Amino acid sequence: MNSILTPINEYINKLENADNNIKNEIENQLVSIGKEAVPSLVDTLQVVKGRTRGIVAMVLIRIGESSIDYLERAAKLNSDFQWIANYLITEIKGVAA
């Protein structure tokens, strides 16, 4: 398994029961991994729900431009994910503007 995926998966698993302080720490850690985390985060975003989904989405927005290509590819492969990907891309471009 890719060494980057292990901590990402561990962080995602911890989000489920994390309090706000831990949630913020995890979000910051995922953002600090940067573009290497994007493929795994986009895959994760397509299967998680609720609060975890919101945090993963925010991480992708904070990572920024590096997320766009992966979001576009995922949207082409998963029509149910298209609106989420488009929304995040709009947010990323808005933050970058």
Alpha helices per DSSP H over the chain: 5-15, 20-33, 38-45, 50-63, 68-77, 82-96
Give the count of beta carbons closer than 10 Å to the beta carbon of residue 12.
21
In Å, how far are 18, 25, 70, 88 from 85, measured between CA atoms? 25, 24, 9, 5
Give the tens place of pLDDT for each residue, 32-88: 999 999 999 999 999 999 999 999 999 999 999 999 999 999 999 999 999 999 999
What radius of gyration, in Å, describes the C-alpha atoms of the chain? 13
Per-residue confidence (pLDDT) for residue 4, from 0 to 100: 62
- CA proximity to 8, closest of 81, 52, 33, 58: 33
Model confidence over 75-85: pLDDT tens digits?
999 999 999 99
Judge whether residue 16 has pLDDT over 80. Answer: yes
The crossing angle, in degrees rounded to 10, of helices 38-45 and 68-77 is 40
The full set of domain ranges for the chain reads 5-96
pTM of the complete model:
0.90
Query: CA 96 to CA 29: how far, in whole Å?
Result: 21
